[in-house]
Structure 1
């Protein structure tokens, strides 16, 4: 973990929030088993969590660019947990959709403000921002284990117990809020001279983020069911595949931050998109247990650019870092949900393998979008910018504007 206590707290809080994004996919096999939902129906559940989240995150980003709202951190964490906790209580499909949608709004409210505070606390360190992202990856990875431990023994009626991480996350936010208030009282230092916005590069990066999102959410939604089919295993086989997909993300995010210190962020991101192609192909096409190492490789490739895309987006829009964080950090796990019903409908009409096959080609489109992007940190570092701290221990003041 980094030496910076604020980054550590934000990373742990990020884990508590993103448990609820991972929990939606982890609940899919239980919805199929207990309620006989079709592929299209469970895709609708993922869509409900993703649709409002994908729309709301940029809106919350705009709000946090205009006003600082650190109180959103604990409030949104609790809202994200409440939605998932209620998701399994009612057997009504519309109420289930409404519950996971509430969770999606909570997740949407959290990320832009958290990304803004993490960027300042990181002091320009890519590695520190990668640790903040790792918190989300850990939350994703723990989600299938938590859901299996809570829901498998007692069924969907036990989902209220899944609110516990939200309570922990809200408590972890309190020291961050106290630090913000202390900085406000003592006077905050300026955040440096902003660089000019580069909206064209930001749009291209955002389109690449959408491509990655479709691949990631498509896999996270259906890989538990696909693993059961390909390995002829039970729910444990699906849980293992989903855990591998999420756990590999933690390794990928830390690796991305380290690689960005050796090469520039665009080069690392571009190579990660190329690596996704054979990794996803192996996951979809190889039979039996060979699926699992391909899941791990695909996960690493998907998450190496995760934090790098967030900092790139913020550097392309330095005057609107909340908006940039809301789009790049939020869209990575929300917009892909818009494509999941299409994948589900195709799987119902053909087979799950056929429906997942288009995901092999999408990373190539992502590579085309990022291959010529500039890395603003390499060309526009100003004299007033603090030097990056490789360990994220630079205690840059948490400006509250």
Structure 2
């Protein structure tokens, strides 16, 4: 009996790297499709004559569907896991991608973006759950491997603009259908593994006591979740400002071309990929809350300086901001999962989805402010957002989190 228990515990502590790499690769493809949308912004602005506010609305539809719906799908996944929703979600995104490439009217573009967003919303909670199940004892590292795929996919938006959409135009998006096909095949493999895990004692719900009204959540846990959502919300507004509008700031204030401006944004996003990867292992060693705090407070002096520096300083400062600010990307998810360990799908959707989806509201607001004032005003406003990091010290420490959840 003891030997069997030990074997089961060892299985739970084993990190399944093959599955982690597969779900990370699928995450890269999923978020690459999402990044096609902001990558097309300069093309729409020049050829369809869309306003900054309309570009903000495109970002709003994408982020509200891709993000705000995540905790909804996560909630139902916690109640009844459905492994094959993963490839189904990517198929829905592919349909949206086809419409996006062929649409010539603003409202048709919004409808296509809606499908891309829904497919992504289906993917993310179950993807986070797979990473959690395959993590073993290395939750920070596992979540970093998973999230770095998505962040790298998002970072490709400037490259897509510079090398695909500038020369090929809107229909260049059709080339991504081949990529999503590969993603669907990879997700079929992941889904089969996922389904097998649900049949094991470690992840099956059979034989477990089910509370009709759920399990009690400590009031301090609720406060911590609310504060964590606020912090991720503030960070997402900053990233939304950079991803959607900084390219126009570089073009207007520094006189860069579309292609040149995209490469600067890529530096920021690629640095964020590196930060995401290293943030998880650092949090495993130095604590979740400590890395959360460092990522925002450490980036604040650099974000405050960015709107005023000469062009030659932008790349090194941009790189440091991206690395430091996004080092807590995966850490925030793991911290939230440990706050609510029985609701992994919902809380993953809440942090990766709803909180980041609120950045869509920021994209619309920033677009309207850019039309009303100017791009530089928006960049200065964005530079203040990481100062919200001072509130991270109100979060419970890692040890306190374990105390609050030990009976869950």
TM over 0.5: yes
Structure 1 residue 55: Cα displacement: 2.6
Structure 1 residue 233: Cα displacement: 1.6
Separation in structure 2 between the aligned mates of residue 204 and residue 3 of structure 1, nearest angstrom: 32
- Aligned 8 A contact 1:17 1:77 in 2: yes
Secondary structure of the structure 2 residue equivalent to 1:371 = helix
Counterpart among 346, 349, 372 of residue 323 in structure 1: 346
Separation in structure 2 between the aligned mates of residue 350 and residue 184 of structure 1, nearest angstrom: 54
Structure 1 residue 54: Cα displacement: 3.1
1:272 alignment partner in structure 2:
295
- Aligned 8 A contact 1:252 1:300 in 2: yes
* Cα distance change on mapping 1:122 and 1:377 into 2, 3 Å: farther
Counterpart among 162, 172, 184 of residue 170 in structure 1: 184
2:359 alignment partner in structure 1:
336
- Aligned 8 A contact 1:78 1:106 in 2: yes
2:3 alignment partner in structure 1:
none
1:399 alignment partner in structure 2:
none
**Following superposition of structure 1 onto structure 2, how do residues 298-317 of structure 1 map, counting pairs within 5 Å?**
298-317=321-340
Choose 194-203 or 321-330, whichever is displaced more. 194-203
1:389 alignment partner in structure 2:
none
1:352 alignment partner in structure 2:
375
Structure 1 residue 99: Cα displacement: 0.8
Choose 267-276 or 84-93, whichever is displaced more. 84-93
Separation in structure 2 between the aligned mates of residue 226 and residue 164 of structure 1, nearest angstrom: 34
**CA deviation profile, 1:167-216 (whole Å, cap 9, x unmatched):** 1211111211222333355x332589999642221111111111111111
Rg comparison, structure with higher value? 2
Unaligned runs of 5+ in 2: 1-14, 210-214
Separation in structure 1 between the aligned mates of residue 47 and residue 126 of structure 2, nearest angstrom: 37
Secondary structure of the structure 1 residue equivalent to 2:82 = coil
How many residues get paired?
381
Separation in structure 2 between the aligned mates of residue 46 and residue 234 of structure 1, nearest angstrom: 22
1:18 aligns with 2:31: yes
- Aligned 8 A contact 1:77 1:110 in 2: yes
Structure 1 residue 312: Cα displacement: 0.8
Counterpart among 138, 145, 154 of residue 159 in structure 2: 145
Separation in structure 1 between the aligned mates of residue 395 and residue 32 of structure 2, nearest angstrom: 32
Separation in structure 2 between the aligned mates of residue 269 and residue 85 of structure 1, nearest angstrom: 38
- Aligned 8 A contact 1:223 1:241 in 2: no
- Aligned 8 A contact 1:276 1:363 in 2: yes
1:362 alignment partner in structure 2:
385
Secondary structure of the structure 2 residue equivalent to 1:188 = coil
- Aligned 8 A contact 1:217 1:333 in 2: no
Separation in structure 1 between the aligned mates of residue 355 and residue 31 of structure 2, nearest angstrom: 12
Separation in structure 1 between the aligned mates of residue 173 and residue 39 of structure 2, nearest angstrom: 12
1:229 aligns with 2:243: no
2:170 alignment partner in structure 1:
156
**CA deviation profile, 1:130-173 (whole Å, cap 9, x unmatched):** 11111111111223323443322221133222223221211111
* Cα distance change on mapping 1:90 and 1:183 into 2, 3 Å: closer
Structure 1 residue 267: Cα displacement: 0.8
1:291 aligns with 2:304: no
Separation in structure 2 between the aligned mates of residue 86 and residue 284 of structure 1, nearest angstrom: 37
1:396 alignment partner in structure 2:
none
Separation in structure 2 between the aligned mates of residue 131 and residue 96 of structure 1, nearest angstrom: 32
Aligned-residue CA RMSD (Å): 2.5
- Aligned 8 A contact 2:338 2:401 in 1: no
1:60 alignment partner in structure 2:
73
Secondary structure of the structure 2 residue equivalent to 1:189 = coil
- Aligned 8 A contact 1:26 1:242 in 2: no
1:179 alignment partner in structure 2:
193
Unaligned runs of 5+ in 1: 385-401
**Following superposition of structure 1 onto structure 2, how do residues 77-116 of structure 1 map, counting pairs within 5 Å?**
77-116=90-129
